[in-house]
Chains A and B, each alone.
Chain A
Amino acid sequence: MKQQLEAILSNAKNELSETQNARELDAVRVKYLGKKGELTAILKGMKNVAPEERPVIGQLVNDVRAELEAALEKQGEKLEQSALEEKLKSEALDVTMPAEQITLGHKHPLSVVLDEIKDIFIGLGFQIAEGPEVEYDHYNFEALNIPKEHPARDTQDTFYISDNVVLRTQTSPVQVRVMENQKPPIRIIAPGRVFRSDAVDATHSPLFHQIEGLVVDKNITMSDLKGILELFAKRLYGENTVVRFRPHHFPFTEPSAEMDIQCYQCHGEGCRLCKGEGWIEILGCGMVHPKVLETCNIDPEVYSGYAFGIGLERTVMGRFKIDDIRLFYENDVRFLHQF
């Protein structure tokens, strides 16, 4: 009996080791452990065994059964593992094949930089003001200390709607509208479209964007103007940016200045980008002219302020080395997708 059992076990193990898949494995299970299986048959034959031998033989049969089951399980795991490996192998991809594109929209490059500029100033406590693009002469000129026959009106090449209404030539009228409606402290930037009668070419557009800035409060000095604009330049152009403030003239600020940054290509040596000057003009600024404050019913003896204006197109063209302003308004997706 014992030999018979050992033979069964050894045969079963041999057959198991030959199995290649779950089906063959199951066939072995049925052959030995199924209802009509060889081991089952022995168990069924126990009633023929002498009663005193039964415990010994029973134990033996159970041991063989346990061992066989363990072997089955082990072989099952082994087969499962190799099946999995087979599956992974068959599913392998050439990961160097091109991706399937997920299309995201692209912001216009002017917006990319404008949003950066907005975020810088928002972080410094500024709000975003807006004003009309078709504007009263009063706001665009008169209230900014540019009376009717001022020569500056010629140089700004204004588009007229009527004697009293123009397409704003600058975002500065928003200053006046804000000061009329809000009392200090005022901290705003006003980005927007402006219009000048320039024929279209690679560097001129009758429509472009400016970002106006205005701060009015008690004790505002030129030091504050320099501080905020220097910080702005470093945030926009990098920590190592060197700036300079140069006297200039605007009718609505006094003292007035232009801010240059040291050329980021030649670091001040002079190159083609900066036209040999070593510096690139970034913005105009100054202390708000007391006449402008008075026009807005703000007492210049109590309050002072500064204002600045940045040309967006030029800033963006410098940043991305774009050489033709017309690209901004053609909306060619091959252009837009680069930003």
Chain B
Amino acid sequence: MKLPLSWLKDYTDIEGISNKEYDARLTMSGSKVECVEYLGEEINNVVTGEILSVEKHPDSDHLVICQLNVGKEEPVQIVTGAPNVTESSIGEICPVCLHKSTLPNGVKITKGKLRGVVSNGMMCSFQELGLDHGCVPYACDNGILFLPKGTPVGVDIKTVLGLDEYVAEFEITSNRPDCLSVIGLARETAATFNRPFNVKTPVVKGCGENINDYVSVRVDEPELCPRYTARIVKNIKIEPSPAWLRERLFAAGVRPINNIVDITNYVMLEYGQPMHAFDYACLSDGKIVVRRPQAGEAIQTLDGQDRAITDEMLAICDGSKPVAIAGVMGGANSEITENTKTVVFESACFHGTTVRLTAKALGMRTEASGRFEKGLDASLTMPALERACELVEMLGAGEVIDGVVDVCSADLTPKTLPFEPEKINALLGTDLSAETQKEYLERLEFKVEGDKVIIPSFRIDIERMCDLAEEVARIYGYDNIPVRLYAGDTTQGGLSPRQLLERMATDVCLSAGFDESMSHSFISPKFYDNINMPEDDKRRISTTILNPLGEDFSVMRTTVLPSMLDSLAHNNAHRNATASLYELGTIYTPVLKEDNTVDADKLPHEEKILTIGTYGKFNFFQLKGLIEAICTKLNIKDISFTADKENPSYHTGRCAKVYSGQTLLGTFGTIHPVVAKKYGFNTEVLAAELAMDKLAECANSVKLYQPLPKFPASTRDIAVIVDDAIPAADMQKAIEQAAGNILESVKLFDVYKGKGIAEGKKSVAYSMSLRAADRTLKDEECDNAMQKAIKALEEKFGATLRS
């Protein structure tokens, strides 16, 4: 909402308040000022000048040399090529940009020579001054702006064209449609600065006759139109509005058009009540019917668009056809034209939601619909209508027929609330007397009578005590409310055990040199193809967004893997030699209906997956080491790994599932080269997907101290030759089982294939550490354990000792 400050002065007094203070105080009392702009900010050193002479330029056919009186002793010589400056222009008054003047859009004017003749500035057009044609209806389209006769000479152009004006731009919250008006903001201004506030009741003289002889109004949908008021003006003389009205509209950001249209806009800005004017001659049968459109009805709106309207909307119709879409826009069929003789002014209250949905459905949000949709005060239609008619008489634009049509089903009795100063203090933490609170409320036109507060009709947002508390607080000043640090029972802050586990798991990734990444929760269904997900994989059934930004953001992911690969690909594409990332990302598994389609009315199951991805640095076993480190940190016991040849996203020979006991924690490995290639990689890319829920389920918070050994350990090494296909983990398990309880640990330290080892075989070497808690082991005990281990390997895997 743009508010020209001079308009404000019609209703309240802002004398002695600087723009900066105005801006700051209004913002702090709840009407946020975005900025205060000076309309003529960019126009400097431009004055009015009278053309004294026009002579031909000696060296040019299209240039002329003018002498202008700009109120100084010497005339100013200016050379121009403007088509409308001829000898007949002598005596015209126009804007003159003197040497070192400025115009909008950073234009600077200095003196110079045009074809050898000195020009001490420039005469300019209304466009160059940043004006709209509606501001200067007398101007020609192409050429210098000739001002009306009698314009004083030698004065600042800004004062002549209404540009010497400050305009405050407000950001008004949706609960305060009453503040989308000059009067509403004047009320807030007056309350904020504790200054007088006066709104005069409009006075309409009338010209006799009776409106009922002209028009009848029927409202078929009182729910959607609680009030419809109208007046008629005859003998209309369509012409430009006077300068003061045009200037105010322009300053408020509205293009001046003609007196009747301008009046409706002026009243809308002043009162916040949208109005509409119909050409009476276009209303068949002198009827106005407010009804829902019938099937097949259509209307061409004022913007020239044909609109199909439905029975979900509300139309203003005459005896036969729609002439306006209620609260949104008028119809072309009843538009005010130069030939209009009689006008119907409509000032009505429409149902906000219907207007909003209509405007949305038609894709045409208008100034009017934006106000109606917030809900307007039904009491407002009448004063606004009267003001419009008053302006008609004031401008001599026509004669107002006596009488008003007022079809009203709205309850106009004022709302009341109990006056509860103690409760207000208790909510705010203040100690304001009842008197003070009453005074604050009355500044905003609430009436406090005994223990009741009467709510002004325009405050549709006030429903409860807390709303009154806000009114008191903002006039008192939020900044004056005392600050208190802590009240109420103490509570224990902290992370939940689950949140701590998440922090521990991600801390391991960080300390291993992995960076945290974050990716979008919605992906393209194509992402599933990218990771080779089979067509019949259930994870392809995803929660789908009905109105996505595009296909790339259309489904809620059921896996974080493609997002992770995408992030790695971004790094690779930007020539980062290596990237190692982790994301504790959420996946969304939909609830399925019996036919295996998504039940979109149920919330999907959300689960966090610790997803890890890396290229250019770590190998398979280092990634495996990271996973083991996470398990160690979370104290997850009984970890085992099995080869997974079936996962289509991963390398068939380099993928493993990780378990704790029987619980599957996740999958990791080298990304399948075909998948990697889709992401632009020719080198190895590794990833891991660990279910955070499962990690948490298997985590052990209990840690007990194990006494440090008192006796030394002995070591024995075994090297055997086995079939290449025998998994190392199985052999290790066999050793652990066979060697007995003096086996402290066993470590694989060498695997060798090649020269000296038969084809299809490998040499595997383990180092056993043996120890007893209560004695130093004897050599025989150790040898014995080693023999048992060797025997087990021989029996289970056909191993032979490597000699």
The 8 A CB mask of A224-259 against B (1 = contact, 0 = none) is 101110110000000000001111110000111100
Q: Is A45 interfacial (CB 8 A cutoff)?
A: no
The reply to whether B484 and A227 form a contact with Cβ atoms under 8 Å apart is yes
- B704 interface residue (CB < 8 Å to A): no
Contact between A249 and B173 (Cβ–Cβ < 8 Å)? Answer: yes
Write out the residue numbers on chain A whose beta carbons fall within 8 Å of the beta carbon of B32.
246, 248
Query: Does B362 touch A at the CB level, under 8 Å?
Result: no
- The closest CB in chain B to the CB of A305 belongs to B488
**Does B548 belong to the interface (CB within 8 Å)?**
yes
- Contact indicator B484/A133 (Cβ below 8 Å): no
- Total contacting residues, chain B, CB less than 8 A: 90
- Cβ B485 vs Cβ A228 within 8 A: yes
Q: How far is the CA of A266 from the CA of B756 in the complex (A)?
A: 77
| Known A125-B490, A249-B175: A134·B516 in contact at CB below 8 Å | no
User: A290 is contacted by which of B464, B479, B491, B511 (Cβ under 8 Å)?
Assistant: B464
Asked if B570 contacts A332 (CB within 8 A), the reply is yes
- Identify which of B482, B489, B547, B580 contacts A223 (C-beta below 8 A): B482
Inter-chain contact A222/B481, CB cutoff 8 Å: yes
Residues of B contacting A289 with CB < 8 Å?
A: 466
Q: Are B478 and A304 in contact (CB under 8 A)?
A: no
Select A197's contact among B465, B547, B580, beta carbons within 8 Å. B547
Other-chain residue from A124, A128, A160, A193 in contact with B495 (beta carbon distance below 8 A):
A128
Q: Which residues of B contact A228 (CB under 8 A)?
A: 485-486
Alpha-carbon separation in the docked complex, A121 to B352 (Å): 41
Tell me which residues across on chain B come within 8 A of A224, comparing CB atoms: 429, 484-488
The CA-CA distance from A106 to B513 in the complex, in Å, is 8
Contact B513 A104 (CB under 8 A): yes
CB distance B493 to A125 under 8 Å?
A: yes
Segment 454-499 of B: residues with Cβ below 8 Å from A: 464-467, 469-470, 473-474, 478-479, 481-496, 499
Please tell me which stretch of A17-25, A56-64, A84-92, A162-170 contacts chain B, meaning at least 4 of its Cβ atoms lie within 8 angstroms of it.
A162-170
Q: CA–CA, A107 to B29, complex, Å? A: 41
Please tell me if B515 contacts chain A, counting CB pairs below 8 Å.
yes
Interface size class of A (residues with CB under 8 A): 35 or more
Option from A136, A197, A222 in Cβ contact (under 8 Å) with B429 = A222
Residues on the B chain within 8 Å of A132, using CB: 603, 606
* Measured CA separation A248–B492 after assembly (Å): 31
Partner among B360, B546, B567 whose Cβ is within 8 Å of the Cβ of A160: B546
The reply to whether B176 and A106 contact each other, CB–CB distance below 8 Å, is no
| Interface residue B151 (Cβ < 8 Å from any Cβ of A) | no
Over the window 232-261 of chain B, the binary record of Cβ atoms lying under 8 Å from chain A Cβ atoms (1 yes, 0 no) is: 000000000000000000000000000000
Residues of A within 8 A of B426 (CB): 219, 221, 304
Q: Say yes or no for A38: interface residue by CB 8 A criterion.
A: no
Query: Are A105 and B512 within 8 A (Cβ)?
Result: yes
Q: List chain A residues, Cβ under 8 A from B548.
A: 159
Q: Are A127 and B516 in contact (CB under 8 A)?
A: no
**Which residue from A103, A121, A154, A254 sits with its C-beta under 8 Å from B356?**
A154
Interface residues of B in 416-451 (CB under 8 A from A): 426-430
Contact assessment for A126 and B603 in the assembled complex, using a CB-CB cutoff below 8 Å: no
Verify if B517 is at the interface (C-beta below 8 Å from A).
Answer: yes
Q: Chain B contacts of A287 at CB under 8 A? A: 427, 466, 469
> Complex formed: what's the CA distance from A231 to B602 in Å?
40
Cβ 8 A contact of B517, one of A164, A226, A248, A331: A331
Closest residue to B602 on the A side, CB-wise? A165
Stretch at the interface among B571-579, B687-695, B746-754: B571-579
Cβ–Cβ < 8 Å partners of B352 in chain A? 151
Report whether B427 and A222 are in contact in the complex, using a CB–CB cutoff of 8 Å: yes
| A94 at interface, CB cutoff 8 A | no
Judge whether A311 is part of the interface by a CB distance below 8 angstroms. no
Are A126 and B174 in contact, CB atoms less than 8 angstroms apart? no
With A122-B493, A135-B603, A154-B360 as given contacts, are A247 and B470 in contact (CB-CB < 8 Å)?
yes
A80-127 CB contacts (< 8 Å) to partner B: 103-108, 110-111, 118, 121-127
Q: In the bound complex, do residue A333 and residue B545 qualify as a contact, i.e. CB atoms below 8 Å apart? A: no
Contact present for A221 and B427 (CB under 8 Å): yes
Contacts of B213 in A (CB 8 A): none
- Given A105-B510, A290-B464, the answer on whether A185 and B428 have CB atoms closer than 8 Å is no
Most buried by B among A103, A118, A228, A247: A247
* Residue contact A223 to B515, C-beta cutoff 8 Å: no
**Cα–Cα distance between A247 and B444 once the two chains are bound (Å):** 15
Residue of A nearest to B32 (CB): A246
| Chain B, residue nearest A199 (CB) | B549
- The reply to whether A220 and B487 contact each other, CB–CB distance below 8 Å, is yes
- The reply to whether the CB of B588 lies closer than 8 angstroms to some CB of chain A is yes
* Chain B proximity mask over A262-299: 1 for CB below 8 Å, otherwise 0: 00000000000000100000000001011000000000
A244 & B600 in contact (Cβ 8 Å cutoff): no
A333 to B602 Cα, complex, angstroms: 38
| Inter-chain contacts of A186 with B (CB < 8 A) | 491
| B509 & A128 in contact (Cβ 8 Å cutoff) | no
Chain A binder among B47-55, B104-112, B290-298, B518-526 = B518-526
Interface residues of B in 580-631 (CB under 8 A from A): 580-582, 586, 588, 600-604, 606
| Contact partners of A105 in chain B: CB under 8 A | 509-516, 580, 582
Decide yes or no whether A215 CB sits under 8 A from chain B: yes
Q: Which residues of A contact B546 (CB under 8 A)?
A: 159-162
Q: Using Cβ atoms and an 8 Å threshold, which residues of chain B touch A230? A: 483
Residue A149 at the chain B interface, CB threshold 8 Å: yes
Interface flags, A157-190, vs B, CB<8A=1, else 0: 0011111110100000000000000001111000
Closest CB in chain B relative to A288 CB, distance in Å: 9
Q: Is the CB of B514 within 8 A of A108?
A: no
Task: Across the interface, name the chain A residue whose C-beta is closest to B357.
Answer: A149
Q: B674-689: contact bitstring with A at CB < 8 Å (1 yes, 0 no)?
A: 0000000000000000
Cα of A193 to Cα of B606 in the assembled complex, Å: 13
**Cβ contacts under 8 Å, A149 to chain B:** 353, 356-357
**Residues in chain B near residue A246, CB distance under 8 A:** 27-28, 30, 32, 478
Given A126-B493, A249-B176, A256 and B470 contact (CB-CB distance below 8 Å) = yes
Give the complex CA separation of A137 and B579 in angstroms. Answer: 40
Flag whether B373 is at the interface (Cβ < 8 A).
yes
Instruction: Tell me the complex Cα distance, A107–B522, Å.
Output: 22
B492 to chain A: which residues have CB within 8 Å?
125, 127
* In the assembled complex, A74 has its CB within 8 A of some CB on chain B: no
Interchain residue pairs with CB less than 8 A apart (26) = A105-B512, A107-B516, A122-B493, A128-B495, A134-B556, A136-B603, A151-B374, A152-B174, A154-B356, A184-B488, A185-B488, A221-B484, A221-B487, A222-B427, A222-B481, A226-B478, A244-B28, A246-B478, A254-B464, A255-B469, A290-B464, A328-B518, A330-B570, A331-B515, A331-B581, A333-B581
Given contacts A159-B545, A223-B481, could you give 5 more A-B pairs where the C-beta distance is less than 8 Å?
A: A163-B601, A219-B487, A226-B483, A231-B485, A330-B567
* 10 closest A-B pairs by CB: A223-B429, A221-B429, A217-B488, A247-B30, A255-B470, A249-B173, A105-B510, A162-B600, A103-B513, A331-B517
Which chain B residues have a beta carbon within 8 Å of chain A's beta carbons? 27-30, 32, 35, 173-176, 352-353, 356-357, 360, 373-374, 426-430, 464-467, 469-470, 473-474, 478-479, 481-496, 499, 509-522, 543-549, 553, 556, 567, 570-571, 574, 576, 578-582, 586, 588, 600-604, 606
